[in-house]
Amino acid sequence: MLHSPAPPGSPECKTTYGPSELLIRLSGDEKGKEIVDEWHDKIVKNGVVAKEKPEDKPWNCRQAVFTDPDGHELQFYFWLGTTSK
């Protein structure tokens, strides 16, 4: 007979779960990378403190990072495309 696992946080649960990351790719051809700034401003306006403000990263994306109350990291990014050398 199969038993379903105990839900996380219950006394029967033997597995501990740590913080995780969620990457959210934003797209907005008409707005471009400014869409990251718009999302950042909307989230901050609702009382959330940003871990990292929007900035262009060396790995060729614009990114803003938030941490939720449980320690999970939410990364909003816009891909800037490939670079030519």
**pTM of the full predicted structure?**
0.72
pLDDT of residue 31: 81
Report how far residue 62's alpha carbon sits from residue 44's, in angstroms, rounded to the nearest whole number: 17
Identify whether the C-beta of residue 40 lies closer than 8 Å to the C-beta of residue 17. Answer: no
Q: Residue 62 phi/psi, 5° resolution?
A: -100, 135
In a domain? residue 44: yes
Q: Which two tokens stand for residue 77?
A: 């990014």
In a domain? residue 43: yes
In a domain? residue 6: no
Confidence band of 16 (pLDDT split at 50, 70, 90) = low
In a domain? residue 54: yes
Contacts for 58 with CB less than 8 Å, ≥ 6 apart:
none
pLDDT of residue 2: 56
pLDDT of residue 30: 76
* pLDDT exceeds 80 at position 1: no
In a domain? residue 48: yes
Q: Report the domain count for the chain.
A: 1
In a domain? residue 10: no
Q: What is the mean pLDDT of residues 25-50?
A: 90
Report how far residue 85's alpha carbon sits from residue 65's, in angstroms, rounded to the nearest whole number: 28
Task: Read off the CATH number of the domain in which 35 is found.
Answer: 3.30.720.110
Q: Containing domain of residue 53, as a range?
A: 21-79
